[in-house]
Chain A
């Protein structure tokens, strides 16, 4: 699941340690940043930067686009500190902003090119390439292909579940759909990924 409070460094724990050693909540860090505590923002940033980056990278399937949107998302988070109120989980807030920024990016750019995209139907046989001989690398490539093959909406929901650790309700809020729609999309995404991985022999479990 997503890196959370448990991954605070010792220094961060020393700086923000509650008498009961409870890591500071994301919302508390954001409120501290609202009051000018830049160190609080850095802690908050380092908790979510990697998961957000991977989410945008897999969603956009384009590193340049992912980096542009990544900066835009954090810029909006920084600007929103003045009016920030912890009405929801910070991760829900962050990934809702990320989702909307990505949608806006698509509209502005109309199309996005895939860097290093490989057409699944014309991909070379991994067995023919020595650098992909390792099973681990083979599995990674299969996962990448399976994710790329998902419809955008299903991939989005799956990534929010895996990278952001959001619940169904939070995913629905972040993507602006109702709960049933979010649940359905996640179900289909998981089913398709399982099927794709089983088909390619990466899953050790048989089909159910």
Chain B
């Protein structure tokens, strides 16, 4: 207690004053007020008990949230596989195959063009005659496919055609040789 409290407590006059006040102040709370306040106190607890913390949907929400979180974590922790599509095999050289096919088609187209040029010089007409003539002159007045692969062999074939009395065929083969192997210089 403070000094003042001690003085007040021990003071005869102040103790008498306090006694007089206590004798004077005898009012009590009206019963209606008691009822109002106590009813409000009960109502407040009921409002609280039906709130968020005790409702049924809170545990359901918690469980659903936890479940989704676990599923997401498991999904993200799985190793990601980026395997190539099954139709693309490792090491496959699509471009190589395409290059080879293109070279074959170019050679075939050149051979066809040469045949056409030769047939036009010979002046033959008719598809069947041309076909028959071509097949008849392949061995006599044209170099075979094997000789066309190497320029030396092709040049040899041209010499043989000249010696065989087929200068036209030889010139035609020579033109094709220069077209196919432009840098090739025949040995004399």
Contact present for B33 and A67 (CB under 8 Å): yes
Contact present for A162 and B44 (CB under 8 Å): no
Which of A16-24, A74-82, A114-122 lies on the face that meets chain B?
A: A74-82
Q: What mask results when residues 121 to 160 of chain A are scored 1 for a CB within 8 Å of chain B, else 0?
A: 0000000000000001001100110000000000000000
A49 to chain B, nearest CB (A): 5
Given A205-B12, A205-B13, does the pair A162, B20 have CB atoms closer than 8 Å?
no
Contact present for B25 and A58 (CB under 8 Å): yes
Q: Provide the bound-state CA to CA distance between A138 and B44, in Å.
A: 45
Partner of B27, one of A38, A57, A74, A202: A57
Contact present for B16 and A190 (CB under 8 Å): no
Given A36-B45, A204-B16, does the pair A144, B33 have CB atoms closer than 8 Å?
no
B23 within 8 A of A: yes
Contact present for A190 and B40 (CB under 8 Å): no
**Most chain A beta-carbon neighbours within 10 Å: one of B33, B34, B40, B41:** B41
B42 within 8 A of A: yes
A41 within 8 A of B: yes
A195 to chain B, nearest CB (A): 10
B18 within 8 A of A: yes
Q: Is the interface of B mostly helix, strand, loop or mixed?
A: helix
A98 within 8 A of B: no
Contact present for B28 and A50 (CB under 8 Å): yes
Contact present for B20 and A50 (CB under 8 Å): no
A93 within 8 A of B: no
Q: Which residues in window 6-53 of B have CB below 8 A to A?
A: 8, 12-14, 16-18, 20-25, 27-30, 33-34, 36-38, 40-42, 44-45, 48-49
Q: Provide the bound-state CA to CA distance between A41 and B20, in Å.
A: 31
B2 within 8 A of A: yes
A163 within 8 A of B: yes
B39 to chain A, nearest CB (A): 10
Given A78-B44, A167-B1, A203-B13, does the pair A139, B20 have CB atoms closer than 8 Å?
yes
A109 within 8 A of B: no
Number of CB contacts from chain A to chain B under 8 A? 97
Partner of A167, one of B2, B37, B48: B2
Please classify how large the interface on chain A is, using the bins under 10, 10 to 19, 20 to 34, 35 or more: 35 or more
Contact present for B33 and A143 (CB under 8 Å): no
Contacts of A168 in B (CB 8 A): 2, 4-5
A187 within 8 A of B: yes
A54 within 8 A of B: yes
B20 to chain A, nearest CB (A): 6
Q: Provide the bound-state CA to CA distance between A34 and B96, in Å.
A: 84
A59 within 8 A of B: no
Contacts of A67 in B (CB 8 A): 30, 33
A31 within 8 A of B: no
Q: Provide the bound-state CA to CA distance between A205 and B11, in Å.
A: 11
Q: Provide the bound-state CA to CA distance between A136 and B19, in Å.
A: 13
A156 to chain B, nearest CB (A): 14
Contact present for A50 and B27 (CB under 8 Å): yes
A42 within 8 A of B: yes
Contact present for B36 and A139 (CB under 8 Å): no
**Interface pairs (9), CB distance under 8 Å:** A33-B41, A36-B49, A45-B38, A50-B28, A183-B2, A194-B17, A202-B20, A204-B16, A205-B16
